[in-house]
């Protein structure tokens, strides 16, 4: 009698499954012991190749520090209302705490009768200071505020000169005669116009801060939307090829030959140019710049062996394009984004300089350059706009060069 007993296949499978569960039990206990924040951080850890790219980016010191400087400047401009504003941050009036920087209070709140409170008005300021106190931002002017307390400076012929007014540190001309209370308010440190006044008496530094924010936000939105459209169009062309690619290419040739400046002139004659109008018009032509790069990457990658294997496994075209081809194409695309952003900012500045950009009165670096062109006797206007734009674009160019080197597999830093 054979003492060997045949093993039941079902029992064998169940025993193997139980062994796997027992082996994975410590791992499950370990995962259960990790807090959700730790699991989230583990998912956010960089892969080895991305860690190498980040190390290469940090090794480019100029680009690395340019990124932090740009983020710091942009962060300050995002909270421009708390840095440069003609309304106090906090007001204590008769025991009540008010926040004018966030809420518009009528003048009746302080014994007046106007719908909006002018906190620079001596009557309102005296009333608040007599019954409380005010905390002002570092710069007590917004981009639309006019310095009513500026007394003017005496010219060579003895006459008082009006706007534009030079910074206090850039002129040795004496101030004109003014009432003592006006001179006291004007000489207050918080009321100092560090970069002077423009041709309407508005603080130049406040307009630069707000103009920086408008330019960067406009450039970011235009770059993001143009990248989405351009990457999608290039991916469809490169992946499907054939007639799809041929028709798209002929369309792009016709579309890119349309002069965008003439389109803007026509639209500005019908509609008042605004932020979203300019964004839409420039988006119509800006997306074309990324199509060629993405198309070339998809044309090159669609015949790779792993793409052929994915098709053989029955994966859909959408899944192959999104999960397998797009990550490789984005490496080449990301190198163009900082340069695309700088080009978008330059486009808005050029349109504002030509008078086809944002509405009059908007905070704009291009409008500041236009004032400098019209008022050659006020060089601080043109120089301020030039240096603000030059610093912004230089930082973006340095960041773009660092990103390009970081994504280059042949580039190594020590």
More confident residue, 211 or 175: 211
Q: Where are the beta strands (DSSP E) in 32-106?
A: 90-93, 96-98
User: Is the per-residue pLDDT at 11 higher than 50?
Assistant: no
pLDDT band, residue 45 (cuts 50/70/90): confident
All residues at 6 or more sequence positions from 164 whose CB lies less than 8 Å from its CB, including other chains: 196, 197, 198, 199, 371, 375, 378, 380, 381
Beta strands in 39-131 (DSSP E): 90-93, 96-98
Q: With a cut of 90, say whether residue 10 has pLDDT above it.
A: no
Q: For 393, what's the count of Cα atoms within 13 Å in the CB-facing half-sphere?
A: 16
Which of 107-121, 153-167, 392-406 has the highest mean predicted lDDT (pLDDT)? 392-406
Q: Rounded to two decimals, what is the model's pTM?
A: 0.83
88: left (phi over 0), alpha (psi -120 to 50) or beta: beta
pLDDT in tens, 122-171: 888 889 999 999 999 999 999 999 988 888 888 777 788 888 888 888 88
| Helical residues (DSSP H) of 241-312, grouped into ranges | 242-256, 260-270, 275-286, 291-301, 305-312
Identify whether the C-beta of residue 138 lies closer than 8 Å to the C-beta of residue 190. Answer: yes
How many helices (H) and strands (E) would you count in the chain?
A: 17, 5
Distance, in Å, from the CA atom of 234 to the CA atom of 230, rounded to the nearest integer, reads 6
Work out the percent of the chain whose per-residue pLDDT is above 90. Answer: 34
Query: How far apart (Å, rounded) are the C-alpha atoms in residues 16 and 22?
Result: 10
**What confidence tier does 30 reach under pLDDT thresholds 50, 70, 90?**
very low
Give the long-range contacts of residues 381-388, CB within 8 A, separation 24 or more. Answer: 381/164, 381/196, 381/198, 381/199, 381/204, 384/195, 384/196, 384/204, 384/208, 385/208, 388/208, 388/211, 388/212
Q: Are 108 and 117 in contact (CB under 8 A)?
A: no
Give the chain's domains with CATH numbers: 86-136 (no CATH), 153-192 (no CATH), 204-406 (1.10.3720.10)
Q: Report pLDDT digits (tens) over 214-246.
A: 999 999 999 999 999 999 999 999 888 889 889
Identify which has the larger pLDDT, 21 or 345: 345
Report how far Cα 324 is from the mean position of its chain's Cα atoms.
30
What integer pLDDT is reported at residue 143 of this predicted model?
A: 93
Q: For residues 130 and 273, which has the higher predicted lDDT (pLDDT)?
A: 130
d(CA 6, CA 269) in angstroms, rounded, equals 92
Measured from the Cβ of residue 354, the count of other Cβ atoms closer than 10 Å reads 14
């Amino acid at each position: 009698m054979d003492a060997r007993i045949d093993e039941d296949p079902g029992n064998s499978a169940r025993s193997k499954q139980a062994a796997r569960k027992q082996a994975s039990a410590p791992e499950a206990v370990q995962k259960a012991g990790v807090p959700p924040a730790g699991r989230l951080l583990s998912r956010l850890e960089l892969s080895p190749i991305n860690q190498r790219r980040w190390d290469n980016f940090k090794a480019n010191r100029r680009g690395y520090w340019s990124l932090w400087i740009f983020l710091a400047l942009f962060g300050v401009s995002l909270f421009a209302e708390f840095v440069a504003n003609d309304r106090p941050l906090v007001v204590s009036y008769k025991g009540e705490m008010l926040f004018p920087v966030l809420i518009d209070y009528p003048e009746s709140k302080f014994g007046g009768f106007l719908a909006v409170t002018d906190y620079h008005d001596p009557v309102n300021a005296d009333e608040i200071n007599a019954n409380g106190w005010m905390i002002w931002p570092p710069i007590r002017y917004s981009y639309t505020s006019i310095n009513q307390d500026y007394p003017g400076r005496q010219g060579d012929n003895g006459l008082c000169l009006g706007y534009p007014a030079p910074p206090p540190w850039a002129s040795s001309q004496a101030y004109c005669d003014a009432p003592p209370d006006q001179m006291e308010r004007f000489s207050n440190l918080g009321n100092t116009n560090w970069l002077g006044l423009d041709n309407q008496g508005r603080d130049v530094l406040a307009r630069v801060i707000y103009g920086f924010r408008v330019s960067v936000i406009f450039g970011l939105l235009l770059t993001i939307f143009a990248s989405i459209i351009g990457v999608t169009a290039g991916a469809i062309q490169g992946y499907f090829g054939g007639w799809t690619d041929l028709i798209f290419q002929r369309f792009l040739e016709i579309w890119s030959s349309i002069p965008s400046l003439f389109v803007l002139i026509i639209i500005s004659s019908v509609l008042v140019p605004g932020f979203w109008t300019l964004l839409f018009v420039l988006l119509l032509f800006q997306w074309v710049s990324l199509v060629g790069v993405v198309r070339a990457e998809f044309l090159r990658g669609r015949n790779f062996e792993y793409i052929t294997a994915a098709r053989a496994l029955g994966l859909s075209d959408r899944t192959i394009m999104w999960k397998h081809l797009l990550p490789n194409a984005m490496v080449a695309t990301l190198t163009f984004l900082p340069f695309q952003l700088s080009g978008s900012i330059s486009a808005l500045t050029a349109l504002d300089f030509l008078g086809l950009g944002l509405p009059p009165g908007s905070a704009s670096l291009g409008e500041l350059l236009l004032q400098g062109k019209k008022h050659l006797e006020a060089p601080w206007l043109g120089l301020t706009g030039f240096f603000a734009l030059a610093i912004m674009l230089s930082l973006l160019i340095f960041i773009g060069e660092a990103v390009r080197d970081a994504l280059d597999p042949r580039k190594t830093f020590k």
